[in-house]
Structure 1
């Protein structure tokens, strides 16, 4: 039985998806420590995320910041190891596929501390993506693999991971969306602030290196999304990631008229935009999940996805970066009826995770 859990996290998606597990620890009176690597280093946005999600400030902030993959991961590895020696938890939990996950997993694997990987078993089968390496390594060094779906469990078994190490929990993103969607409706004023009340709009996110670091591909995506919006006579709202904004400047790209770039939004604002959009175009795995849970049709500007369940239930389609494909698939998804079954669980994933660690909890959707 785990008597003390350490959460190693470093990006806003990790904060969002681990928040329900942290709340479950509090409800079960299980001691825990939050270790923030600083991989996403916007102090103002991070502090808002912790405040909105009703989380305590991290006990440790390692302040690693940006850098090449090797440099960033190496610095995290050193500092996480030092921190774990000081905390001495029974279990470390990491979530997803970031460099923080990779560093947390490797550092923990060199100790006698148990490692749990939340959202285990996801695969894009594209080793060009650094996230794919991160998630595979984390899975294979973990004692506890918390698979969000039966499909993820099957993938882990195909890779030779023993069944007793795997628990199908559902995805904690469902817990987070269920807990926060009404809060976003009550508290967020983003629709009126952006003049979107009562208007049809498309929500766009694009930040992955394979899309925005490739000038031709980034231009192609913007051209396709703009054309699709013109055909539907709607505006596209694009909360732009700092990485993508820098690439626009580096490449000298003028954003097409139908795409309105805005600053990144805090969590409740973004959740509100997702819920009210007529359609979402994205390259984010987490956004694919949230769109599916919220009943909003999604078009994914990638050649593959580690969330195939969203495609299987009819909530999502891949379009790559070709402008004609983007226009065609946006048109096909526009009027899709959002009556698909949510494949990611019932909102009890956090409780199942703690039960696997030997913690007694009370079940119930937030």
Structure 2
């Protein structure tokens, strides 16, 4: 190697949940194909089955798997296992950089374990803020912890970069890259188009609801457990009474979600309660739906890329860009409000088109390449 050539950078990418895997596999692919990097993947198994589905479809084979998840595990127990497990792998790998994504316990512990070893951290999807430490909980604080010491902030939008600037993060280490979730969506859409069988398991539901307008539903946020979930179930039941509407709801594995949704919605003619969908099938749901009703963060970014309005069943969002652009609207968990806002989009074509045709602010599908170039510097 000549003295002018840069050394190969050893990168450990850490993730453990389905959303992290979706948003990081484009970067993992990019790093693995780039001779400037020696790329290693550490998964924690924070979401086991849902994580493995993404790894398989994306063709990612982890070098390390902590398999930390246990039934009814408390956040502090999970955090302790993550921190010590990730730390042990970092002691073995001795990387030049640790890459984490988003706001999970895995991301926070991966960053903290790296910080304890003075390994620089690249935070993908940095700078998202709701302004309320309990909404989303505990994700808002997880992001703030990582943001306090990351050495490279890959902010998806100008809004997220501005949030970091307000927290006195050095502008020299904040870069607007777009969101890798759009890279992933483009990749899976092309893959399903080339291999339609990857999403054929929705065919029966599509046939059952032929001629109806599909509302896709996802709900899993901790802050909605209890009354929030019951209100969401009540709104779905009322919407399902419309003859022109059907709701497809992949129900999260968390028992706080399943117990309520199964009790309230099972057996309704216009509601399909499904097991969690793998990534190709979820992309298919986004494609066939009229709108998405969700408390998820990622759906707020993905659905607008396919021209689908998003009604967000939360009081706040760390993705205000979508609300400002008009692709998303906060509706909270009040039953009457949810029903009113869904029916407004169903019955008012101008209101629907205003959201469906609004510009998606979250990226152009080239984010992973930008982040790789930043790491190489």
TM-score clears 0.5: yes
1:100 aligns with 2:106: yes
Q: 2:157 is matched with which residue: 139, 145, 149?
A: 149
Residue deviations 1:250-276 (CA, integer Å, cap 9, x gap):
798322624321111111011111111
Q: Is 1:291 matched with 2:303?
A: yes
In the TM superposition, what is the alpha-carbon distance from 1:231 to its structure 2 partner?
3.8
Q: Is the 8 A contact 2:322 2:361 kept in 1?
A: yes
SS in 1 for 2:241: helix
Aligned to 1:222: 233
Shift of 1:331: 2.0
Q: Which residue of 2 aligns with 1:363?
A: none
Q: Is residue 2:265 matched to residue 1:255?
A: yes
User: Quick check: 2:98–2:120 contact (8 Å CA) kept in 1?
Assistant: yes
From 56, 59, 62, the counterpart of 1:54: 59
Give the conservation status (yes or no) of the 8 Å contact 1:202–1:234.
yes
In the aligned structure 1, how far is the partner of 2:301 from the partner of 2:288?
A: 15
d(CA) in 1 for partners of 2:329, 2:262: 30
TM-score by length of structure 2 reads 0.89
Does 1:63 find its partner at 2:73?
no
| TM-score after normalising by structure 1 | 0.92
Secondary structure at the aligned position of 2:311 is classed as strand
Deviation sequence 1:172-204 (CA, Å, 0-9, x none): 011111111122243311331323474421110
Equivalence for 2:223: 210
Deviations 1:158-183 (A, max 9, x none): 01111011011000011111111122
1:40 to 41, 47, 55: 47
Superposed displacement of residue 355, structure 1: 1.0
- Counterpart CA distance in 1 for 2:27 and 2:369 is 7
* C-alpha contact (below 8 Å) 1:298/1:333 kept by paired residues: no
Alignment of 1:130-279 (within 5 A): 130-185=138-193, 186=196, 187-196=198-207, 198-199=210-211, 200-211=213-224, 213-214=225-226, 216-231=227-242, 233-243=244-254, 245-249=255-259, 253-255=263-265, 257=268, 258-279=270-291
Q: CA contact under 8 A between 2:45 and 2:51: conserved in structure 1? A: no
Q: Tell me, what secondary structure is at the counterpart of 1:253?
A: helix
Aligned residues: 353
- C-alpha deviation, 1:356, in angstroms: 0.9
Contact 1:219–1:253 (CA under 8 A) maintained in structure 2: no
Tell me the secondary structure at the aligned position of residue 265 of structure 2.
Answer: coil
RMSD across aligned positions (CA): 1.8
Residues 251, 258 of structure 2: 8 Å contact kept = no
Contact kept in structure 1, 2:292 and 2:311, CA below 8 Å? yes
CA–CA distance in structure 1, aligned partners of residues 297 and 243 of structure 2 = 25
Moved over 6 A (4+): none
- Among candidates 86, 91, 103, match of residue 92 of structure 2: 86
Tell me which residue corresponds to 2:338: 326
Per-residue Cα deviation, 1:42-90 (whole angstroms, up to 9, x for no partner): 2xx43332121122x1111111114111110111101111100100111
Partner of 2:313: 301
CA contact (8 A) 1:203 1:238 kept: yes
Counterpart for residue 10 of structure 1: 16
CA distance in 2, matches of 1:297, 1:327: 15
In structure 2, distance between residues paired with 1:252 and 1:285: 23
Contact persistence 1:228–1:326 (CA under 8 A)? no
- 1:362 corresponding residue in structure 2: none
Structure 2: gaps spanning 5 or more residues = 1-5
Task: Report the alpha carbon displacement of residue 20 of structure 1 after superposing the two structures with TM.
Answer: 0.6
